[in-house]
Chains A and B, each alone.
Chain A
């Protein structure tokens, strides 16, 4: 029976993110002997939250040096915990913090790493993982003989562990940091003002705006200011997350009329994010695969498009409204603002 290490980090406030609990849920479902490793400024509170998860041991690396998400210290801490546990399989949430270091840690341990994993399952004598290749265009199931095997599980791909908090006995793992590991200092986070933030990973709805919003409309003129007002208005009323097809964010670099709040961070698909939301509404999106791959992990999908044969629509969406998105979204915002849907 292999030892499975769930490797998690605390958030800035000492709590655990949902993705950490999801990894715990996934690890429990594959069997094996479970141990937990935590990294952060102070890990005891977080360990107590998951005290009842069934782990045989809790290991921790804590201290002010480990509050920052930086490669040098995170890699050293993760390496130390992996060595202390001697785990054959290490499962971690695919957060930006772990995605930055897990490969390096695997190299130090002489193991292998698989990232962006969307599923883990027990197999005869081992494990299989599922992940996508060629930018979400093909899905592979694979297994490995190398150990330790580090696996970064994408958020939203497993049921989060739920249980009663308790008191966890955390075994402190000492880490000696070389000066080189501390040459980087995290100085802050740059984020749009709360009312201007358009990316909301936990939103129930993904609103996808395509390049059509910036093109000439039926009167022969583009209406970019109105498009901006409608989209921002809808995001404000629904607290949904904003995605964009590649063509729209690329307009920015091509000197064309753009929606000023749209950046490459909003881009989904080929060279963008692949967000996971329960629902998605695409508007004015055009193009075939592969541009529509960002649409792949949305459960319920609807689209508004003047072209019923668009790649984002037919065969990809549950309902396609063949209509003018400007007109429809104007009415949608009115209804939402008035707080009535019928």
Chain B
């Protein structure tokens, strides 16, 4: 039984993880210093979700992948130059803040409305993918909120594997405590899957895919609607970088057996 899935990946941009981040406080709430100047990347777990979506679409003929992204469109355009070369998808862009300090509930409402507005959307074939957390807010709540707004009550978080059964059922492995996976069987779409790392490597760049994607990405960016997202009802009493700095004792020129004895004594000492 083959289903042509409609796979919608929700994913935004985050500052490149190697950048130094510094919080600022302002009248509109916290933000990052020089936020618009920081190089950005697609959120790492959403990145995995996109690869998994493309992989699934490839194995289920007739399937299609959309990437729904809420971010400042100028920065989103930069990031798309890289992302577009990886796998085929159609971009749905919304122009708004990608800050981690915005309200997930407000973001989810905008994403859900954008998904509902996709022409030809058939909820019975819908799989909503995304990262199980973002590298900005890091809350792991937006996808669930989107799912609820779309009326989807089969949801999975921390997904590392999805297999489609011969009967069209979905076997899903979710991360649970203690390095284990919970195995679930879902009768089929619609479902929400918040991806952890998955098992796929990053696909190589494919200039042909990139050119095809860019034909739809540029118009999508041009017609991206502006969305105002804030933090109604939330007051940040403070946002700070951790100041913990340890006075490291550097032990040089100690023999390996002496170090080993010291480590074993330290481990054994409760």
Which residues of A pack against B, CB within 8 Å? 69-72, 75, 95-97, 99-104, 106-108, 112-116, 123, 128, 131-146, 178, 180-181, 183-192, 197-201, 204-205, 238, 253-254, 264-267, 270-271, 279, 281, 289-290, 296, 300-302, 304, 308, 313-324, 327-332, 334-336, 341-342
Contact = CB atoms under 8 A, between A and B. Distances in A.
Interface of A is mostly: mixed
B139 A180 contact: no
Given A189-B176, A270-B17, 4 more contacts: A107-B144, A133-B23, A254-B201, A334-B260
B179 interface: yes
B251 to A, nearest CB: 5
Given A96-B158, A107-B145, A184-B184, A115 B248 contact: no
A270 B181 contact: no
A138 B263 CA distance: 31
Interface in B181-211: 181-188, 196-197, 200-202
A116 B264 CA distance: 33
B6 to A, nearest CB: 18
A264 B260 contact: no
Interface in B21-63: 21, 23, 30, 32, 44-45
Interface stretch (B65-73, B78-86, B213-221, B237-245): B237-245
Given A191-B179, A322-B251, A140 B30 contact: yes
Nearest to A324: B256
A334 B248 CA distance: 27
B153 A181 contact: yes
Contacts of B174: 96, 100
B18 interface: yes
A290 B266 contact: no
A323 B254 contact: yes
5 contacts: A133-B136, A140-B240, A145-B234, A184-B184, A313-B248
Contact of B246 (A100, A201, A315): A315
Nearest to A75: B153
A264 B267 CA distance: 26
A71 B100 CA distance: 25
B239 A135 contact: no
Contact of B183 (A132, A142, A190, A264): A190
Most chain A CB atoms below 10 A, which of B18, B32, B178, B241: B178
Top 10 A-B residue pairs of the complex, sorted by shortest distance between their CB atoms? A199-B179, A331-B260, A103-B141, A103-B144, A253-B201, A264-B197, A341-B264, A71-B155, A327-B256, A191-B180
B250 A140 contact: no
Contact of B160 (A114, A264, A321): A264
Contacts of A131: 139
B interface majority secondary structure: mixed
Interface in B67-109: 100-101, 103-105, 108
B167 interface: no
Contacts of A318: 246, 248-249
A110 to B, nearest CB: 10
Contact of B239 (A133, A201, A323, A342): A133
Contacts, number: 270
Contacts of A72: 153-154
A305 B176 CA distance: 32
Contacts of A264: 160, 196-197
A197 B177 CA distance: 12
Chain B: interface size category: 35 or more
A107 B153 CA distance: 12
Contact of B140 (A115, A185, A304): A115
Contact of B100 (A95, A134, A279, A323): A134
Contacts of A102: 141, 144
Contact of A135 (B135, B179, B181, B187): B135
Contacts of A335: 260-261, 264
A197 B180 CA distance: 9
Given A141-B237, A145-B233, A314-B248, A341 B265 contact: yes
A200 to B, nearest CB: 7
A301 B176 contact: no
Nearest to A241: B179
Contacts of B257: 331
A266 B201 CA distance: 17
Most buried by A among B196, B251, B256: B256
Contacts of B136: 133-134
Contacts of B246: 301, 315-318
Contact of A184 (B148, B154, B176, B241): B154
